[in-house]
Amino acid sequence: MRQVVILLSLVYMSTSFGQKKEVDSLPITIDEYVFVKPGDSLEVKFDEFSLLPKHKFKSREDVRYYLWFRRKVFRAYPYARMASERLDTLNSRLLRIKSKRKRKRYVKQIQKYIENEFTDQLKKLTTTEGRILIKLIHRQTGRTAFHNIRELRSGWRAFWYNTTANIFKLSLKDEYDPEKNNEDYLIEDVLQRAFTDGSLPRQSSRLQFNFLEIAQERKSIVDVEEYKKMFAKMRKKNKQKKRS
């Protein structure tokens, strides 16, 4: 996961890593109420909300796999959200630094600080969580992890980090496409439902897609076959190791 650590170290700009949950609440001051006299017209604007269709699972076993995957998304999402927020801040600050040498030194300082601060946390991510994180970075920033690194460092470094990622069957060039990719659809499904119930702080995607239309087209069927196969292979390998 070092290549992902590098990206996050380039975009993280503050020492705080916590999040605040957005919680709906009733208005508590008189200024938040609107009084209407008879005959007046009133325009009321509601915050955007979505009514997501109910999941359709093939079996109870599939529910377990979906909940397992949900935990993976929950673990990766805060890092991607942070990357999006801090990338904008970093880019704006770099624009104010005219000297190329000073820009390079500034980026290295930030990288060194964050690597020391969060490397251990990111190393604990599994391969699945790492892949989800790479895809979410594309969702949150509008650019792949590879593209972000290439812009902030150099094309050669981006190539090298991607080559390293390939060793672990990951690619920094992975794109996020919930319309065509089943895993991306599941990620977006988890996020949208978490945003709705307040489990995760909402952050809109910088990519263009309509999740409700995608969900309706898929009839809200949850397909977790690839993960069932993945665990089946893992169990088979473990049995072979015990026999040998």
Smallest CA-to-CA distance from 66 within 214, 226, 222, 234 is with 222
Q: Assign 123 a pLDDT band (cuts: 50, 70, 90).
A: confident
Mean pLDDT of 7-16: 47
Vertex 78, ends 76 and 83: CA angle to 5°?
A: 100
pLDDT value, residue 98: 85
For the segment 66-103, what is each residue's pLDDT rounded down to a tens digit? 999 999 999 999 988 987 887 777 778 888 888 888 88
pLDDT value, residue 59: 94
Q: What long-range pairs does 116-120 form, CB within 8 A, spacing at least 24? A: 117/15, 118/5, 118/8, 118/9, 118/12, 118/17, 119/2, 119/5
DSSP state of 221: B
Q: Assign 110 a pLDDT band (cuts: 50, 70, 90).
A: low
Tell me the helix, strand and coil percentages in the chain, rounded to 5: 60, 0, 35
Residue ranges per structural domain of the chain: 2-8+57-243
Residue type, 37: K
With 90 as the cut, is the pLDDT of residue 39 above it? no
The answer to whether 224 touches 183, Cβ cutoff 8 Å, is no
For the segment 166-190, what is each residue's pLDDT rounded down to a tens digit? 656 788 899 999 999 999 999 999 9
pLDDT value, residue 95: 83
* More confident call, 125 vs 28: 125
- Which tokens in the block code for residue 157? 């470094």
State the Cα–Cα distance between residues 147 and 186, nearest whole angstrom.
Answer: 24
With 50 as the cut, is the pLDDT of residue 15 above it? no
DSSP string, 180-196: T-HHHHHHHHHHHHHHH
For the segment 132-165, what is each residue's pLDDT rounded down to a tens digit? 999 999 999 999 988 887 777 665 565 556 665 6
- Which of 42-46, 109-113, 163-167 comes out lowest in average pLDDT? 42-46
Mean pLDDT of 223-237: 94
Residues 6+ apart with CB under 8 A from 242: none
pLDDT value, residue 16: 34
Residues 6+ apart with CB under 8 A from 171: 134, 146, 162, 165
Mean pLDDT of 52-69: 94
State the Cα–Cα distance between residues 102 and 108, nearest whole angstrom.
Answer: 10
With 80 as the cut, is the pLDDT of residue 195 above it? yes
State the Cα–Cα distance between residues 59 and 49, nearest whole angstrom.
Answer: 29
pLDDT value, residue 242: 84
* More confident call, 114 vs 97: 97
Mean per-residue pLDDT over the chain, rounded: 78
